Every structure is written in C-alpha cells, then in structure tokens.
Structure 1
Amino acid sequence: MRTLDLLHRWAGGLIGLLLALLGLTGTILVHRDAWVMLPGAGEALVTDAAQVGPVAAGLLADPAGRPQSIIFADDGFGLHRLRMGGGAGAYADQSGHIVSRWDSEWARPELWLADLHKHLLAGDVGETIGGIAALIGLFFIISGIILWWKLRFTFSFRLWPARLSRPAIIRQHRDFGVVMAPLLFLSCLTAVMLTLPPVTNLLLSPVISPAERKAAMAVPAVKGGALAPGLDWAAMLAEARSRFPDAQFRVLTLPRRPGELISLRLRRPVEWLPNGRTMVWFQPETGAMVGSRDAATLPLGARIFNLAYPLHTAKVGGLAFRLVMSVSGLALVLLGTLAVWSFWFRRPPPQRAPAGRKRKPTP
C-alpha cells in the first residue's frame, strides 16, 4: 500500500499540471458552439439537398480557392466550416456567403484550443503524450479509490480544502476525487480510446479484432481519377440523400492524393457521433456513386468505438451532459493543480530537535 501511495503522489506531482491543462481546455471546448459568435451561427439547419447542393457547388467552384473539405452546419452551429491547406479556412453561412476567413489556425481561438487539447500543439507526438497522460489518469482514479478505502470513515466532502496546508489539501483531494471518480473515469477512458490505438484494440478485443474493425471501416477498392471541374454537386448530394433519406450531410472531402475518392460523411439519427460514420463515396472524374456504408450495420465493436468521441466531447445529452462533462473537466483542473502545489510547494519543513536537547543515541 505504501508503494502504491508513493506512485500515486509522485505521478500526480509530475503530470498534475498537464492533466489540469487538458481538463481546462476540454471544459472550454465543450461549449465552443455557444461562444463562437459570428453572423449566421444561430441559424436553423437547412437539410434539403436541393438547397445544400448549390451552396456546396458555389463554395467548390473556384479551383484556386477550393477548400479541401466542407464541414456542414448542424443543429447546434449554423455555419459551414471550410478547411483549406496549411491551417487556413473560413466559415460560410448556409447561403454560401463567407462570414470569416483566416490564414492560420492561430486566428481562431476555437481552432488552436482544439489543437492544444488534442495535440498539445505538437502533432501526433502531442496526441500520444496526451493519451499517455489520460492512461495515467486512469491509474490515479483506481489507485486513489484503493487508497481512500482504508480511510473511508473519515470522509468529508469539500469543494475546496479547509486550509491551504498539505494535510488539508490531501484530505480534500482524497474525498473530492472519490466523488468525481466516475466522471473522471469516463473522461480518461474515452480519451485513451481516441488517442492510443494499441490500448483501444486491447479494450475492444473481446468484441472485435483490429483486423475486423479495419475491414469494417475500409474505403471501397476503387481508384479515383482527376477531379472534374464541373461536377453536379447537387445531384451527388441528392443521390446520397436518396440512399440515406434520414441522414444529415456532415463532411464533404475532396481527394488529397491521386487515386482517392470524394467522400461524404453523413449522420443518421441512430448515431451519436456528431459527424457520423455513415459514408458515401463518389468518383472524382464523373461524380458517380461507387460505394456506401451504413453506420447502423457496423459490427458491435466498431459501434462501441464510435461512442467514445461523443461521450468525451459531450456531443450527446444536450446542455445537461455538457454541464456534467464541464464538472469533470473542472474537477481535473482542481485535483491536478492542488496535487502539484501540495507535492512540490507545501511540504512540511524537516523536524529539528529543540535547542539544548540531545538526541538519544540510536541503539
């Protein structure tokens, strides 16, 4: 038990601030649709393919300024987001009018905050570091419950320590942490699933193998040609709508490398994932549909994995669940910062023998 306590305290002292940073940025991002205030952001969603198609065609018409992808407006955010190369992008309202444009993600706080939360501004390496931190967070939760159990009879819930002394901080940390444990476990587990594929494969192994999940998410084995300049985007979206009448258009992505297809992500009502995993693929040279995938028919393991992102980002459950996950994020901020503070800065001074008193010799 003493070894577990040492591991818990040392790990908290070393990465507590990193977990606090992830908790703070995650809490802010949970509500980002509410604080990105631009003209048209609050407009009702247009779902008619006959209206969305011409707007998409207009946004894709100029080869020089053509976006790599369009993330369509949804029920919570009424603007289309255009992704260009090199971090550039734009927001367009649902009539196709550009309301904001940027040359770098640093110009939009919601974008660089998302990059900070997911990648720590360090690309794939930062994402892996964040995933490892979340995995250590799971260790904190499990070891913290074990360490709390022997002292459960002294439980006293406090949002803030009674004093900023090391014993008071440790007691508040222990009792507050055990109350927040279920929410923190959900946050850390879903973060691990989204960032550490080997751990995800291990967790899902009882229901699906990595090869089966990869096969279920595979792109059609069709080679695409050069992107034609005058594709009938309205007809393509209408065909996708006829294939999935109840689905929302979510992400239209153009080929980035030779041989790739045009892909359209859709979200059916049964899906929690905000951008869906229902897919339609088109030939770039003709616009003909060459394949589709219904997310409702995916294997169980793939459908379980698709729950991780909406649960982690509170994209389900409305405002109530966003507030719940905000509590989780703020709890991580409090626990992480106080853990570092008590470990490195609030250690009690070493005990010294009173002057004039001789210590007894050690036998």
Structure 2
Amino acid sequence: MKLLDALHRWSGGLVGLLLALVGLTGAILVHRDAWVMLPHAGDTQVQETQALAATTVALMADPTRQPQSITFANAGFGLDRLTYKGGAGAYVTQAGEPVLEWSSQWARPELWLSDFHQHLFAGEAGETVIGVTGLCGVFFVVSGTILWWRTRRTFEFRLRPARMTRPSIVRHHRDLGIVVAPVLALSLVTGTVLVFRPLASVILGPGAPAEIDGALKPPAAAVVQLSDDLDWEAMIRTARLRFPDAEVRSLSLPRAGSGLITLRMRGPEEWLPNGRTTVWFAADTGRMVAVRDAVELPARVMAYNALYPLHAGKVGGLMFRLVMTLSGLGLAMLGTLAVWSFWFKRPRARVK
C-alpha cells in the first residue's frame, strides 16, 4: 500500500497540472455552442433539402474559394462552419451569407482551445501525450479509490479545503476524488480509447480495434483530380434520397491520397454529432461511389461511436453536459491542488 501511495503522489505531482488544464478546457468546450455568440448563431436549424443544396452550390461555386469542408448548422448552433487550408475558416449563415472569417485558428478561442485539449498544439505527438496523460488519470482514479478506502470513516465532502494547509488539501483531494471518481472514469476512459484505439479491446473485447478499423475505413477509389464543374445539388439530393430521415452534417473535399468527396449524415438513432452514415462521391464526376449506413455497423463499432458523444457531453441534454462539466472542473481542482501540495506546500521541518 505504501508503494501505491508513493506512485499516486509522485505521478500526480508530475502530470497533475496537465490533467488540470485538460479538465478545465474540456469543461469549457462542453458548452461551446452556448458561448460562441455571433449573429445568427441562434437561428433554427435548416435541413430542408432544397435549402441545403442551394447553400452548398453557392459556397462551392468559385473553385478558387472552395472550402475544404462545410460543417452544417446543428440544433444548438445556427451557423455553418467552413474550413480552408492553413487553418483559415469562416462562419456563414445557413443561406451562405458571411458572418465572420479568420486566417488562423488563433483568432477563434473555440478552435485553439479544442486544439489544446486534443493535441496540445503539437499535432499527433501532442495527441499521444494527451493519451498517456489520460492513462495516468485512469490510474489515479483506481489507485485513489483504493487508498481512500482506508480512510473512508473520516469522509467529509467539501467544495474546497477547510484550510490551505497540506493536511487539509490532502484530505480534500481524497474526499473530492471519491465523489467525482465515476464521472472522471467516464471522461478519462472514453478520451483515452479515442486516442489509442487499440485500447478498445479492453472495454469492447478482443478484436474490437481491427473490427472498428475495417468498418470505418473509407472505400477504395482511384485518386482523381477534383473537377471544377460538379453538380453539388445532385449530390445533396442523391444522399437525401438514400437516407431521407438523416441530417446532412458535413461535406468534405478529398484529402491527400483520396479521390472521394465525403458527405456525412446523422441518422435518428445516432449519438455521434456528425454521424457515421456516409455517402461518397467521385471527385471527377460527382457520381455516388459507396454508402455506409450507421445502423448496419457491427454492435461493437456502434458502441465505439458512442464514446465521443459521452466524452463531449453530446448526448443527454443539459443535465449530462453539467455532469461532464463537473468531471472537468473536478479534474482541474484535483490536479492543481495535487501539484501545489506536492511541490510547494511541504510541511516545515521542526527545529529541535
């Protein structure tokens, strides 16, 4: 038990501040749609096929100004978001009228906060660090619960330490940790599996990562040049005819090594905000190449698709967002006070 206690304290002292920052940014991002206050952000979501087609045609009309992707408005945020090369982007109304443009993610707090939360501003390397930090967080939840059990009879819930002394901080850390442990476990496990997909085998069973990779892999297609004369309206209509009850969520131009335009949709049964129901079109002709119906995915893949909505509070309405806010703020407080008490609040040596 002494070894477990030492590992808990030392690892918390080393990575606690990073966990605190990840928790705080996560708590802020859970309410992202509410605090991005721009004209028309409160507009009612439009999903009428003709309106979506007309907006897409207008945004894609100029080949020199085509966005790399369009994320259409949702029920909680009434603007379409465009992304361009080099981190540039824009918000437009659902009729395609400009609202705000930016040349870098640093101009928009919701973008750089999201980048920090997911990648630490360091791309794939930062994402790996986030994943390792999440694993440490899972260890803290498990080891902290074991260590708390010895002192369970002294449990007393407080929002803050009774005094800013090291014993009071340690006691508050221990008792607050056991209260938020269930939601912390949910946040940390879902986030870590999203970063390290092979860990899906731990919660979904052996072979799950390979099954997920295979089910979510885009279809094979020849790499072709994007045509300047595509019928964008026909693509929207074709997708809607194939999935009449699904929301049109995003349209993406081909990425490097791909010759496919990707149209993502969200079926009524899906939790994932942008859905996994997908229609692919050839970049040179606009013809439909393949479709994926999310309700026909294997059960374990559907379970994997539920991890992000749970992690980001995208299901369950305001009450669940508040639960995930509690998780983020709890992690922020636990991490900050753990680092402070470990490195800066050592008891003074007694003078003999």
Which category of TM-score, normalised to the shorter sequence, fits these structures? over 0.9
Matched, 1:54 2:54: yes
Following superposition, the deviation at residue 212 of structure 1 comes to 2.3
CA deviations on 1:167-199 (whole Å, 9 max, x unpaired) are: 111111111110110010001001101112232
Matched, 1:337 2:310: no
Aligned residue number for residue 359 of structure 1: none
In structure 1, stretches of 5+ residues that fail to align are 354-363
Aligned residue number for residue 191 of structure 2: 191
Task: Output the CA distance in 1 between the equivalents of 2:310 and 2:203.
Answer: 16
Aligned residue number for residue 220 of structure 1: 219
Following superposition, the deviation at residue 49 of structure 1 comes to 1.3
CA deviations on 1:246-267 (whole Å, 9 max, x unpaired) are: 1001110111335421110100
Aligned residue number for residue 35 of structure 2: 35
Aligned residue number for residue 356 of structure 1: none
Alignment of 1:120-199 (within 5 A): 120-199=120-199
Aligned residue number for residue 361 of structure 1: none
Structure 2-normalised TM-score? 0.97
Aligned residue number for residue 327 of structure 1: 326
User: SS of the residue aligned with 1:250?
Assistant: strand
Amino acid at match of 2:348: P
Amino acid at match of 1:255: P
In structure 2, stretches of 5+ residues that fail to align are none
Q: How many residues align?
A: 352
Amino acid at match of 1:246: D
Task: Output the CA distance in 2 between the equivalents of 1:205 and 1:62.
Answer: 48
Aligned residue number for residue 4 of structure 2: 4
Amino acid at match of 2:43: E
User: SS of the residue aligned with 1:246?
Assistant: coil
Amino acid at match of 1:12: G
Task: Output the CA distance in 1 between the equivalents of 2:289 and 2:98.
Answer: 31
Following superposition, the deviation at residue 284 of structure 1 comes to 1.4
Deviates more, 1:289-298 or 1:197-206: 197-206
Amino acid at match of 1:223: A
Structure 1-normalised TM-score? 0.94
Amino acid at match of 2:63: P
Stretches of 4+ moved more than 4 A in 1?
A: none
Task: Output the CA distance in 1 between the equivalents of 2:258 and 2:90.
Answer: 27
Task: Output the CA distance in 2 between the equivalents of 1:150 and 1:326.
Answer: 29
Following superposition, the deviation at residue 201 of structure 1 comes to 4.0
Amino acid at match of 2:315: V
2:198–2:209 CA contact under 8 A, matched in 1: no
Following superposition, the deviation at residue 217 of structure 1 comes to 1.3
Matched, 1:291 2:290: yes
1:49–1:234 CA contact under 8 A, matched in 2: no
Matched, 1:350 2:329: no
CA deviations on 1:223-261 (whole Å, 9 max, x unpaired) are: 253222222211211110111111001110111335421
Aligned residue number for residue 269 of structure 1: 268
Aligned residue number for residue 83 of structure 2: 83
Aligned residue number for residue 360 of structure 1: none
Following superposition, the deviation at residue 202 of structure 1 comes to 4.1
User: SS of the residue aligned with 2:25?
Assistant: helix
RMSD of Structure 2 on Structure 1 (CA):
1.2
Task: Output the CA distance in 2 between the equivalents of 1:219 and 1:10.
Answer: 44
User: SS of the residue aligned with 1:227?
Assistant: coil
Alignment of 1:85-124 (within 5 A): 85-124=85-124
Task: Output the CA distance in 2 between the equivalents of 1:145 and 1:202.
Answer: 20
Aligned residue number for residue 205 of structure 1: 205
Amino acid at match of 1:347: R
Amino acid at match of 1:41: A
